[in-house]
Structure 1
């Protein structure tokens, strides 16, 4: 209502600034820049990390398609490594094996010896809100001068070793899509501890317009990635409920674990050294046949369940991307079912 009364409902307004400040404070990041969605936030972070056309960006092949799409927006190519069965996110062991086998140093950068492309960045994703072993990933990437950008789209409210996800790498990216733990309808956020990069992110996501009371002058190619004020106002209100949402999410997860333990079914729980938001709950069945039967029975009875995302290399636009051996991802794809995970608890 404040935004409507102020008439600033679109791309400018005080609630955008307030939402950024409150997200920065909650996560512990020094700076936060609001965007229209998580994909645009990731695209911006990749651009500001210097990812250029023809570069390669390492990521996991078990992820939502937006992770790879943002890489392609830069003209870069995804490289797929395996996931960890402990976290369902990027495996540090698979990452290290890929780099040790395929990367070589040239002029201060890592290059793929097979493709000849520069490996500029690495994008691990905190799957279903469960933190990856991000400290190990950053340590490995630092040996090769590779920037780490955390896809923390699903993990607002999740912590690894008492530090919020998205605050370990050069950038972190959050999403506030309608299905996330808090929502702005559609929205994203870039997290960084670098003041200059934060200023640059704000500039290019607001069409690169040079500040002026009335003139329109743009000093570089920018993007209309601004979060509307009315969406930011919703985000500020949602943040007031976040701690309650997290308590409910974790309570539901606990109930699920007790229930599925009795059934002899593996309910996935937070990894070691982690505090997870349990954004999307998952069970791991014994095999693909059991998974398919679970999906059919639940959906026929009005319970919405779904399989995990199709592995990225199986999608037509990413089928020719460079990939390592990925037995863990193949195993998980055939067995995981996501189950209802809302914050309504009765």
Structure 2
């Protein structure tokens, strides 16, 4: 399989050079907009491109307000803060996620608790969430708390793994039953829709990343999606050092964050989002080619759930055994095609090893069987 896969991918990308997992694509107005920013001298947190980028994301996602931040972790930290998460709170999330999901909690003094992911989406499983709550939590007049410590369970954070939307309707029902806030880690899912609605717009807040390996990039950057103009205005205030507007005085009315996206990054984002529909079409067609390639093999290509339209940020296959997975990882990387395993589960990391967790059977299966394969948009892809 290795030789066939390497040849297939190198033919797709029309190169014998090393093929990364996901590289940015700059074919539009990136240089023009960045040069305009440099010429304006407004290269930091003030400038027209920041507001322009926020408006463009609002239009694309149909969110009431989008607030740009310096990176995706800062966006998630802000979203959790705005949802009312505070020190000593418990936040339930999935163990199969990038470490930033948990680090955002850790640095605000909250604790993650881990539940399993769903075979349907590879994201947080609503059935596993309900089982966890029934076993470990109780509902009081102040909301859900852990039975053992009486700590408040303030939020549930599903992550749309590799861009595939989680089972949101079912998760919302569980969160409503237990009076827990839903905050979406949509870092990987710009351009993904759940039943026609963009991810990140279902919870109280959503957070998107624009890191260099995402569907579009601002170099580094993120954005918070807000459900109302009022919550958006407060989010903007909090992320810009909570400075009260004044022609010249510096007065700050709370301990805010300096999470402002620089105008340089926003300029890059404005050019990138102009190409987003093309990128999504290209990536979805690439996923179909991969699906066809693996259709008669022992590998299972990960496809979008039936209820969703995914951006296919990172394409993935499930190998028949951990041994086959290890061999394929080694052989492809040695032959100039970058593949990688998914993240080590969060409860295996030293800082989160003592966190409360439910059964993680499917998360452990995915950890030992899944490989990500090159997913950059392909230039001049036929059919795209």
The alignment's TM-score, normalised by the length of structure 1, stands at: 0.98
**Residue of structure 1 equivalent to 2:291:** 257
1:311, CA displacement in angstroms? 0.2
Partner of 1:282: helix, strand, or coil? strand
- Pairing 1:225–2:259 present: yes
Q: Does the 8 Å CA contact 2:298/2:319 hold for their aligned counterparts?
A: no
**Residue of structure 2 equivalent to 1:279:** 313
Counterparts of 1:6 and 1:56, CA distance in 2: 45
Ranges in structure 1 where 5+ consecutive residues have no aligned partner: none
Counterparts of 1:142 and 1:67, CA distance in 2: 22
**Residue of structure 2 equivalent to 1:82:** 116
Partner of 2:145: helix, strand, or coil? strand
Residue of structure 1 aligned with 2:303, choices 262, 269, 273? 269
**Residue of structure 1 equivalent to 2:144:** 110
Ranges in structure 2 where 5+ consecutive residues have no aligned partner: 1-34
**Residue of structure 2 equivalent to 1:16:** 50
Partner of 1:332: helix, strand, or coil? helix
**Residue of structure 2 equivalent to 1:158:** 192
Partner of 1:334: helix, strand, or coil? helix
**Residue of structure 2 equivalent to 1:297:** 331
Q: Does the 8 Å CA contact 2:239/2:259 hold for their aligned counterparts?
A: yes
1:175, CA displacement in angstroms? 0.6
1:194, CA displacement in angstroms? 2.2
Residue of structure 2 aligned with 1:36, choices 70, 76, 84? 70
- Pairing 1:61–2:95 present: yes
**Residue of structure 2 equivalent to 1:335:** 369
**Residue of structure 2 equivalent to 1:205:** 239
1:28, CA displacement in angstroms? 0.9
Partner of 1:59: helix, strand, or coil? strand
1:205, CA displacement in angstroms? 0.7
Partner of 1:75: helix, strand, or coil? coil
1:200, CA displacement in angstroms? 1.4
Residue of structure 1 aligned with 2:226, choices 170, 192, 199? 192
- Pairing 1:71–2:105 present: yes
Counterparts of 1:78 and 1:263, CA distance in 2: 38
**Residue of structure 2 equivalent to 1:45:** 79
Counterparts of 2:97 and 2:190, CA distance in 1: 17
Partner of 2:75: helix, strand, or coil? helix
**Residue of structure 2 equivalent to 1:323:** 357
Regions of 4+ moved over 3 Å: none
**Residue of structure 1 equivalent to 2:20:** none
Q: Does the 8 Å CA contact 2:242/2:257 hold for their aligned counterparts?
A: yes
Partner of 2:59: helix, strand, or coil? helix
1:340, CA displacement in angstroms? 0.5
Q: Does the 8 Å CA contact 1:135/1:168 hold for their aligned counterparts?
A: no
Residue of structure 2 aligned with 1:235, choices 255, 265, 269? 269
Partner of 1:262: helix, strand, or coil? coil
Q: Does the 8 Å CA contact 1:260/1:267 hold for their aligned counterparts?
A: yes
Partner of 2:251: helix, strand, or coil? coil
Counterparts of 1:343 and 1:316, CA distance in 2: 36
1:262, CA displacement in angstroms? 2.9
CA RMSD between the two structures: 0.9
**Residue of structure 2 equivalent to 1:98:** 132
**Residue of structure 1 equivalent to 2:346:** 312
The alignment's TM-score, normalised by the length of structure 2, stands at: 0.89
Partner of 2:50: helix, strand, or coil? helix
- Pairing 1:138–2:144 present: no
Q: Does the 8 Å CA contact 1:46/1:74 hold for their aligned counterparts?
A: no
Q: Does the 8 Å CA contact 2:64/2:232 hold for their aligned counterparts?
A: no
